[in-house]
Structure 1
């Protein structure tokens, strides 16, 4: 079985590749720079060098594919939604051209809304593009990645966890490695058909005060939640050089959650095992020790 994996050096993609290799497969990986691959994978993967936005490269990589793991990578476009849609069109073209029978797409909670969720609207558009190919498609509706905390190390060192969401708002937090586990299992299965969605939601929903307590206990320092006004957050993003569409893309992801009920509810299938505390002990504690 030929399984193609995009973004194989990412936090999820690298886990997918590892599990496929451990399962005895030799996956095809589409990677912009083959030099970034783990040297241990040499000879265990078929490597196609190319960008996920290069339609010819994606078509070349997926020729004869039985299954595709697709991720819309960040593009750096002035409008992130347009960038994700451009990537989605590339994927859909390759799936249609090569009649790829099965696709597993790394989507997000909120993509089902189709609008009002900032950057995630681009993932919703990609879902529709893939659905229209006629392939069997599973959309993984993922929760908020633990690894997003790595972008706020300086703030965490100062004892602050910032958010524009209300303190009482609960949302699913998930380890990207667990997303990789679910994706690999789905890619290896051959008997599912149709278009479906599957939540990948971590062990439980958390409020930001709960996150501050859990992470604080893991890293050995007290954290307080700073509930920022959206205008202040926007000003900070503009000062960092983001365009107006990029600012809206970031803030819209939080704004869209208010009053929103996800399509994929928490149940046995959508719950994954790794706790935020365990992840923070392994990944944040060493970084915040100094």
Structure 2
């Protein structure tokens, strides 16, 4: 069983690699800088060093694999993020179409089921569609909003401010990437699934950003207030930061397109994961904020 893991140093990929190793599988990892892998991991995996934007590298690295776990590496700030995501996945799609890869597990997102109008998530919808047409067995793992997205604004949270352009009153699933990795790993190790499979990966509850602010207040030990940002104000900020028009709309579109989003798959035994935001925030976010704030922080 040859399992290829992309982005093996990310929040999800690193945990997937660890779980596969613990299951007795030696995965093939595609990584730009092997030095980012810890020494113990490097000794136990097959390392393919290269860039996922290099079509030749990707095609050669995935050839002959039973299963490829694909995580789109494209930054939301790329000049044309949707086009870049689709171009980056193209060699994987070609390998699946040619029969060089038997199965692909795609880290997708809730919102991809809309197919259009959800910003950069539209790229994941396009990758889903392209993989569906290859004839390979494909698994689309549609993940909820990651807890770790909160790490993108440690400065704001350290000041007690939670900023968002999402509808503050719209409840949506939140999920711990470690729980996502556990679902990914068991799916990769299960050799029985066939055809096209879609599985949502939700956390244990749907949360509004208002509720998130209250959870963080309790977990962090100080008040965190919600500060909604209008879409036009976000556009202005992103443009001032030098982002291109496609990048701006890719970012704004994710929040705008999620305002009426109801995930295609409801919460049930198969789609719900256990970790609650409060526990994660106390164990993971609180120490990071203390380090960010410096000596003397709570």
Instruction: Give the match for residue 42 of structure 2.
Output: 42
| Aligned-residue offset at 1:42 | 2.4
Unmatched 5+ stretches in structure 1: none
Instruction: Give the match for residue 199 of structure 1.
Output: 200
**Alpha-carbon distance in 2 for matches of 1:213, 1:278:** 13
Instruction: Give the match for residue 72 of structure 1.
Output: 72
**Alpha-carbon distance in 1 for matches of 2:99, 2:134:** 11
Matched, 1:250 2:251: yes
Unmatched 5+ stretches in structure 2: 294-298
**Alpha-carbon distance in 2 for matches of 1:287, 1:239:** 28
| Aligned-residue offset at 1:166 | 2.8
Corresponding residue SS for 1:192: coil
Matched, 1:2 2:15: no
| TM-score where L is the length of structure 2 | 0.94
**Alpha-carbon distance in 2 for matches of 1:277, 1:174:** 12
| TM-score where L is the length of structure 1 | 0.97
| Aligned-residue offset at 1:98 | 4.5
- More displaced 10-residue stretch of structure 1: 260-269 or 23-32: 260-269
Residues 255-274 of structure 1: per-residue CA shift (max 9 Å, x gap): 11122222121111110111
Q: Which runs of 4+ in 1 moved over 3 A?
A: none
| Aligned-residue offset at 1:99 | 3.0
Kept after mapping to 1: 8 A contact 2:34/2:42 = no
Instruction: Give the match for residue 114 of structure 1.
Output: 115
Q: How many residues of Structure 1 are paired with residues of Structure 2 in the alignment?
A: 290
**Alpha-carbon distance in 1 for matches of 2:102, 2:191:** 10
**Alpha-carbon distance in 2 for matches of 1:96, 1:50:** 22
Instruction: Give the match for residue 232 of structure 1.
Output: 233
| Aligned-residue offset at 1:159 | 1.2
Instruction: Give the match for residue 133 of structure 2.
Output: 132
Matched, 1:18 2:18: yes
Matched, 1:187 2:188: yes
Q: CA RMSD in A?
A: 1.2
Instruction: Give the match for residue 106 of structure 2.
Output: 105
Instruction: Give the match for residue 241 of structure 1.
Output: 242
**Alpha-carbon distance in 1 for matches of 2:109, 2:181:** 14
